[in-house]
Chain A
Amino acid sequence: MIGESMYQELILEHYKHPQGRGLRDPYDAEVHHVNPTCGDEVTLRVKVADGGKVLDVSYDGQGCSISQAAASVLHELATGSTVEESLSVVEEFTRLMQGRGQVEPDEDVLGDAVAFAGVAKFPARVKCALLAWMAYKDALMRSQG
């Protein structure tokens, strides 16, 4: 059952109980990203300390389980890490998602995000998984001015 393997328990868990959802102050940058083919959207804010530590990633949005769970996992992984560390996670996650199911994920880097490995086999859903992560990258760039 391909579908069930895409919907890992961890993804469903994040979808049903999203972590860190809701837009919060203070923040350095806010972005709004949409996926025009399915209407999924996310608004995302980042707050970064002077030393480069990510103090908060807050978000709100609507969409399918994959897009919403990916935002929740991103919040967990990025908050409390440094800009540099989190960008390397984004890079590894992007590599995994764009690998058409052929890429062996680095679990040490990805942590919980490794649960999305199955999504990479569904080209139509890759954009859902990447929505919040691309928004995060964009928000970081804007916050760094």
Chain B
Amino acid sequence: MSAPGFDVERIRKDFPVLGRELPGGRSLVYLDSGNSSQKPTQVIETMRDHLTWHYGNVGRALHVLGSESTEAYEAARDKIAAFVKAPSRDEIVFTKNASEALNLVAYAFGNPVGEDERFRIGPGDEIVISEMEHHSNIVPWQLLAQRTGATLRWFPVTDEGRLDIGGLEELVNERTKIVSIAHQSNVLGTVNSVSPILARVREVGALMMLDASQSVPHQPVDVTELGVDFVAFTGHKMVGPSGIGVLWGRRELLDAMPPFLGGGEMIEAVWMDRSTYAPVPHKFEAGTPPIVEAIGLGAAADYLTAVGMDQIKAHEKELVAYALEALPEVPGLRIIGPRTPIARGGTISFTLEGIHPHDVGQILDDVYGIAVRVGHHCARPLHLRFGIPATTRASFYLYNTTAEIDALVRGLHHVQKVFG
């Protein structure tokens, strides 16, 4: 049934926590990887080894430990560049998370330190996002609009949970400076089609950014093939540690952008009244970076590559197809998002009629050890769009099984019994 060569039981052994017993003797059913993924031994050991034997500050220490740390940190950059097929390693900027990567680009606009026409923005100019965004791809652009007087606009979402690009020609126009949308929705699971939007973006001479936090961990992503200008993603959702994220950007654009945060290591020379800046990517990496986290992320990319991103994608597609069949058996369950496993990832949000998601999540956790996320998942406008305050979300990853989906369905039947 699974993709050839993909052995989920063998993969599960790489993640010690999946064998953990919860209080009361429950076993863990982890269906919250869209929130944050678990970590394999390979990542944990790489980080432990570095902290134990090789740790020093990067980029400035001349001693053995400093150079070993620098080498490992920069090797992680190479791994990430290869993982997303970046044309150059210098196009990989380490940030603390995807939010920082998105903010870094948002703050490049309308900044008097920058001189490039493409990043000039003011009243009359427009920024385009969508109604299905995570707050981290909404608030930075709201702040940019407030700072500069530009107008924030957005693509609506259809009842089925797809991006509605019916108004593309009007929405993305000569006044548009940047379009920033999710590659894959963290609530709906929808994978957005980039090319029609990108074609229009190029026609009007705007820039395009993708929040790929939910896609890079789950499918092969090739930034050159995508053809956009910026891609943001985060380490902790792709079996790496928290505290490390990535901005990929076209070299020529990163060169043209002003620095984001000022500090150590981002400079070339400093006088009391002015500074010149290091070349990219270091221009955007002020201060001591999350060294061990970056190295851990490199190990995560190695791990995922060894398993095979195509295999992971195929496995998750099987899981989501299975879940889309099994979940509607639960009376009163309404899936918020596409009900077919086409152009969608392994994230399924739903409501149970008359039962609040907090009650659903509590019973699933306490009785069955099933970890799901409940609430608005940092996408409140999307929930407002569907007229609901919150949803329950199950999200799958390479280590999940159909047996765990069966457990979820059993758990939901029990929730119905308690509150029905």
Contacts from A to B (Cβ < 8 Å): 1-4, 6-7, 12, 15-16, 37-39, 62-66, 122, 125, 128
Contact = CB atoms under 8 A, between A and B. Distances in A.
Interface of B: 23-24, 356-359, 362-363, 365-367, 374-376, 389-390, 418-419
Given A3-B363, A3-B367, A4-B367, A39 B419 contact: no
Given A12-B419, A16-B419, 6 more contacts: A2-B24, A4-B418, A6-B362, A7-B418, A37-B375, A125-B362
B362 A3 contact: yes
A37 B363 CA distance: 19
Given A1-B366, A1-B367, A64 B418 contact: no
A65 B357 CA distance: 10
B419 A62 contact: no
Given A12-B419, A39-B375, A39-B389, A1 B362 contact: no
A37 B375 CA distance: 8
Nearest to A3: B366
B366 A2 contact: yes
In the complex, the 6 A-B pairs of residues with the closest C-beta atoms, listed nearest first = A3-B366, A64-B356, A64-B358, A39-B389, A2-B366, A65-B359
* Interface of B: prevailing SS: helix
Nearest to A15: B419
Nearest to B358: A64
A62 B389 contact: yes
Contacts of A15: 419
Nearest to A5: B366
18 contacts: A1-B24, A3-B365, A3-B367, A4-B366, A4-B367, A6-B366, A7-B359, A12-B418, A12-B419, A16-B419, A38-B358, A38-B374, A38-B390, A39-B376, A39-B390, A65-B356, A125-B362, A128-B358
- Quick one: which of A1, A2, A3, A65 has the most chain B CB within 10 A? A3
Contact of B419 (A1, A63, A65): A65
Contacts of B375: 37-39
A1 B390 CA distance: 25
Contacts of B366: 1-4, 6
A33 B359 CA distance: 20
Contacts of B359: 7, 64-66
Contacts of B374: 38
B26 to A, nearest CB: 9
Contacts of B363: 3, 7
Contacts of A122: 362
A127 to B, nearest CB: 11
A6 B376 CA distance: 23
A64 B374 CA distance: 11
A31 to B, nearest CB: 20
B412 to A, nearest CB: 14
Nearest to A41: B389
Contacts of A7: 359, 362-363, 418
A111 B62 CA distance: 70
A83 B262 CA distance: 57
A6 B356 CA distance: 15
A14 to B, nearest CB: 13
B420 to A, nearest CB: 9
B332 to A, nearest CB: 15
A3 B375 CA distance: 18
A62 to B, nearest CB: 7
A16 B359 CA distance: 13
A112 to B, nearest CB: 19
A20 B299 CA distance: 58
Contacts of A66: 358-359
